[in-house]
Amino acid sequence: MAEYDSIAQSYQATRQVILSRPEVYTFETLIGEIAGQSILELGCGEGFYTRKFKQKGATKVLGIDLSEKMIELAKQQEMREPLGVEYCVGDVLKLDQIGEFDLVTATFLLNHAQTQAQLLKMCQNVAVNLKSGKRFLAINHNLELSPECYPRLEKYGRRQTMKVPRQEGTPIVVTIFNATGETTFIDFYLSQATYEWAFQQVGLTNIIWHPLRVSPDNLQQFGQAFWQDLIDYPTFVVIEGVKK
């Protein structure tokens, strides 16, 4: 994931792609009320969601990312508009326990796990930092999306390719693009069953796979027909688990 150092600026610009709208709406809706809570965001990138968490009243927000450049961008934003968000460079595979949080989130992080062992280690380091009875929410690319559906998503600013037949660990090349440029990164296919196994192994229960949601404002602005392919073939899901 250190490859994000080379695309940090362009990745930050992907927030302008229309795909970002249902992502933000879905995630914020599922996060719900967080005033007074402590939050750890893994794979925080340039701090897009960490800032939102603090603005919504979270008392402590810590963002961690493996990319030094991403953390540099986040810290620059914090200097320009101080909110009291903390950031540090860190590898979720080596994180161990750094605290106990009311909510742990992961932003397009788990989809970089190349093996079951890596996914399990990520989930272990999520669970060890989460208070009992509290939630983990992960925005994840929809790895189960069939390659036959990929062309339907290009109108939303997303191209992707994957060799078939797919198997555990198969790379998925994703490019997010708009009029100003494009950003490419690599995910790895692991099945939904593997994800649920990893969650259960670390004591994350009540697993829910939440589909994307399009806000009423965006439905009204662009129309149902525009969004229908994304609704039918969602590019991301939000995975929720609760620590025993």
Give the confidence band of 64 by pLDDT, cuts at 50, 70, 90: very high
SS3 186: strand
Q: Could you give phi then psi for residue 105, rounded to 5 degrees?
A: -125, 155
d(CA 193, CA 206): 14
38-42: strand order across its sheet: 86-89, 60-65, 38-42, 101-107, 130-141, 236-243, 204-210
pLDDT digits (tens, 9 = 90+) for 195-230: 999 999 999 999 999 999 999 999 999 999 999 999
pLDDT in tens, 106-118: 999 999 999 999 9
Q: Which residue ranges form the domains of the chain, and what is each CATH number?
A: 2-144+190-243 (3.40.50.150)
Instruction: Calculate ∠ Cα 212-214-218, nearest 5°.
Output: 155
CB 119 within 8 A of CB 190: yes
pTM of the predicted structure, to 2 decimals: 0.92
Q: How far apart are the first and last CA of the chain?
A: 30
Classify the C-alpha dihedral 156-161-166-171 as positive or negative.
negative
Mean pLDDT over each residue of the chain, to the nearest integer: 93
CA angle 39, 209, 106 (to 5 degrees): 30
